Chain A
Amino acid sequence: MDNNSLSVEEILQSKRLLKRKKRMLLAFTMPLLIFVFITFISPIATMLYRSVYHPTVSQLIPLSLAELNTWDEAGDQLPNSQALKQFAIELQGLSKERLSGKLAEEINRLKPGSSSLIKSSARKLKKKSLEELQQNGDTLLLGYSKKWQDINLWRAMKRAGQAFTDSYYLTTFDLKRNAAGEIEQRDTQIYLKLYWKSLKIALIITFLTALLAYPLAYYLANAPSKIANRLMVLVLLPFWTSLLVRTTSWIAILQTNGVVNSTLQALGLIDEPFEMLYTQFATVIAMTHILLPFMILPLYSVMKNIDPSYFRAALSLGARPVPAFVKIYLPMTIPGVSAGALLVFIISIGYYITPAIVGGTEGQMISNIIAFHMQSSNNWELAAALGSLLLALIIALYWLYDRFVGVNNIKLG
């Protein structure tokens, strides 16, 4: 008999205890999980859903859309009179409920110029009786404006009526569907260019911050602690200062008659002031400054934990300083560089405030266009599609990073 083994009773008891412990731990993390779900997962899910599901038109004119479903949109005939009558009736109903503007805005998005047509026709239909519309709503409608005879308008209406749509994603790739339903290039080519530009700016900023932060972090990590602490305050002080303050101070520095230009002019180095504000240069330099602490801090904490004796050992064994640094020291700082680069890159690709303030038109990034569609054009679906694509882009880059560098290599401290 091995009297060290546990009895069945004891095993069960320990399992119960373990289970209870696990439940307790889960209960402790529950608030965080719920918080993350409410503030992070569900908004992203809503955004993804919104970018493909757009039921407004199908809810506003369901009966007309049912009629339009039987209509051959690829042909050159208008929808039949029954469909037109049905539309006149529904438009009148919308006008009475003050919803015709909503329909007008949606159709106008696919067919610019139709907003005023729909609204003015709705106003005129408002006064007609239902019997009148049932009898000759179609001729009334066509009589209001020649524009109602434009087949493209009805095609736009049918397309806008699809509750689930890929059109917003097509737009983000600068594509659209033509009358026959085939995918083709849009007249305006804007979004792909912007994604590319944002990517480029983010990479430049990441590179610049790494270049500036590496020697500084090295110095901080190896300096006597009295000096290092003082210098650290200089790194942290701007980090604690309001983002808006730091960004606007760049305006004072970069503007035509700002600090840089007047200094250069006073020294007689230049005759005409440089144009620096409201350019891509301004976006890059201001964002590099603002994101610098995000690179310095992880680098510093990693370097601080590197035992200097390795490097000294390499030197004492006869290695020259540069190869020793590249072979011994640099690889050990990679986790810090990765962490900093990933942080800076992800923050900068979605940056919004700084480019909006100092970037002018040249220094705009994709996030500024997303904000434009949220705030000015009210095209929230397109904003959602653009945002989803940005999210996909970041996830893809993260995956690439994991494959080639390894996420386990990240070290924040």
Chain B
Amino acid sequence: MKRLLSVIALASACSIANAEQLTAVSFGGAYGAAQQKHMLDPFMKETGHKILFENYSGGIAEIKAQVESGNILWDVIDVEVIDLERACSEGLLEVIDHDSLPPGDDGVPAAKDFSEAALANECGVGNIVWTVLFAYNNDTIKGGQPSSIADFFDTKTYPGKRALRKRPQVNMEWALIADGVPKEQVYEVLETDEGQARAFAKLATIADDIVWFDSWSQAPQLLNDGGAVMVQSANGRIFDAIQSEGKPFEMVWDAHLYDLDVWAIVKGTKKKDLAMEFIRFATSSKPLSGMPEVAYGPTRNSSYAYVDKAVIPKLPSSHLDEGLKASGEFWADYGESLGEKFNEWLLK
């Protein structure tokens, strides 16, 4: 009996120690490594809390499953704005008190220091500006150097496989832009049946030359091993491959689709306070300034003081004019119906 009691006491002592452990989830790769280095490690060192860091590939299904079953495994998540909008309004995320965010290192209050989009949603705090662009491999490209999204769809001049992520997002926008729709009108056109048909028709012109992939990690891989001569990719993955592995890749900024990644807290977590403490830390000036190492732009003005000037032209924020903001609202409305049409189109 005595022994049993001591076991119980020990077990509960362990669970108290474990209470200071947080589980954070993000996208892995070079981005995850940069977050580990600039956000998680300094936080653990400073506070003594432990953070488990896991990878996922986006989407809200896993979060929904956790919240609905009441079995919360993830406390803090890094989500794309496309998913944030939906997850927040479905009650899968905690509301975050933006007033509690610390001011910038230069003393400017958080509300002014952050970009407007970073605090636009009550469930999240903007972390980085990233973008989806296309890149090519200098060693394998034929027919010259592509410079526009129209070139991506031009298989005559630039023969070879193109790799795209298997989902309608980004691909539909690119197809319309390559077909001559002005960037500002893309979503307006894509709302109509004719617009959607037009996008699919444009995609169909290169259908035989497309390699589809599921996770961003596959993009640099495909470009490297010759699976494709041009790939759609999150910009940081290509940047990292060039920077740290010396790959002969080239990024094309035309019609890139930029978006934010935000930190959010899964609804119902028992560690909400600790999660909030981490988010306050991770989105303060200094940790955010480490993100440009993988070419993702920080969402705070005050962070730029720490950023290497040579990197700034490589950030999406330096190319906003050439790009288009991904519409979370449009994809909340049409993501599912277009996803189904997209699958049908793929089966043809």
CA distance in complex: A374, B226 (Å): 33
Q: Is the CB of B336 within 8 A of A109?
A: yes
Q: Is the CB of A102 within 8 A of B346?
A: no
CA distance in complex: A104, B88 (Å): 12
Which of B71-79, B143-151, B273-281, B337-345 touches A? B337-345
Q: Is the CB of B61 within 8 A of A255?
A: no
Distance to closest chain B CB from A344 (angstroms): 24
Q: Is the CB of A190 within 8 A of B91?
A: no
* CB contact between B91 and one of A98, A112, A256 (< 8 Å): that residue: A98
With A99-B91, A100-B89, A188-B344 known as contacts, the answer to whether A377 contacts B339 (CB < 8 A) is yes
CA distance in complex: A135, B340 (Å): 41
The residue of chain A having its C-beta at the shortest distance from the C-beta of B90 within the complex is A101
Q: Is the CB of B226 within 8 A of A105?
A: no
Distance to closest chain A CB from B264 (angstroms): 14
The interface on chain A, measured as residues whose beta carbon lies within 8 A of the other chain's beta carbons, has a size of: 38
- B330 proximity list for chain A (CB < 8 A): 116
Chain B 41-65, CB within 8 Å of chain A: the 1/0 string?
0000000000000000001111010
CA distance in complex: A100, B336 (Å): 18
Chain A 244-273, CB within 8 Å of chain B: the 1/0 string?
000000000001110000000000000000
CA distance in complex: A251, B166 (Å): 18
Q: Count CB-based A-B contacts (< 8 Å).
A: 87
* CB contact between B343 and one of A99, A100, A116, A369 (< 8 Å): that residue: A369
* CB contact between B336 and one of A112, A116, A356, A374 (< 8 Å): that residue: A112
Q: Is the CB of B341 within 8 A of A105?
A: no
- B343 proximity list for chain A (CB < 8 A): 190, 369, 372
Q: Is the CB of B344 within 8 A of A190?
A: yes
Distance to closest chain A CB from B123 (angstroms): 9
- A197 proximity list for chain B (CB < 8 A): 347
With A104-B89, A109-B336 known as contacts, the answer to whether A255 contacts B227 (CB < 8 A) is yes
B322 at the interface (CB under 8 A from A): no
Q: Is the CB of B329 within 8 A of A116?
A: yes
Q: Which of B89, B333, B336, B337 has the most CB of A within 10 A?
A: B89
- B341 proximity list for chain A (CB < 8 A): 188
CA distance in complex: A278, B88 (Å): 36
Cβ < 8 Å to A, chain B residues 291-335: 329-330, 332-335
Q: Is the CB of A278 within 8 A of B334?
A: no
B225 at the interface (CB under 8 A from A): yes
Q: Is the CB of A375 within 8 A of B61?
A: yes
With A100-B89, A256-B226 known as contacts, the answer to whether A374 contacts B347 (CB < 8 A) is no
Q: Is the CB of B211 within 8 A of A105?
A: no
CA distance in complex: A108, B88 (Å): 16
A92 at the interface (CB under 8 A from B): no
- B340 proximity list for chain A (CB < 8 A): 188, 190, 377
Cβ < 8 Å to A, chain B residues 198-223: 211-212, 214
The residue of chain A having its C-beta at the shortest distance from the C-beta of B334 within the complex is A112
- B339 proximity list for chain A (CB < 8 A): 372, 376-377
- A102 proximity list for chain B (CB < 8 A): 89-91
* CB contact between B347 and one of A190, A376, A379 (< 8 Å): that residue: A190
Distance to closest chain B CB from A333 (angstroms): 38
Distance to closest chain B CB from A191 (angstroms): 9
Chain A 362-398, CB within 8 Å of chain B: the 1/0 string?
0010000100101111110000000000000000000
Cβ < 8 Å to B, chain A residues 108-159: 108-109, 112-116, 119
* CB contact between B89 and one of A119, A369, A378 (< 8 Å): that residue: A119
The residue of chain A having its C-beta at the shortest distance from the C-beta of B226 within the complex is A257
* CB contact between B333 and one of A114, A356, A379 (< 8 Å): that residue: A114
- A46 proximity list for chain B (CB < 8 A): none
Q: Is the CB of B333 within 8 A of A116?
A: yes
Q: Is the CB of A378 within 8 A of B60?
A: yes
Among all A-B residue pairs, the 6 with the closest Cβ atoms: A101-B89, A112-B337, A101-B90, A190-B344, A361-B346, A375-B61
Seed contacts A105-B86, A108-B336; 19 additional CB < 8 Å A-B pairs? A97-B91, A100-B89, A101-B88, A101-B91, A108-B332, A115-B332, A116-B332, A188-B340, A188-B344, A193-B347, A255-B227, A256-B227, A278-B211, A278-B212, A360-B212, A361-B166, A361-B346, A376-B61, A376-B339
| Residue positions of A touching B, CB distance < 8 A | 97-102, 104-105, 108-109, 112-116, 119, 188-190, 193-194, 197, 255-257, 278, 356, 360-361, 364, 369, 372, 374-379
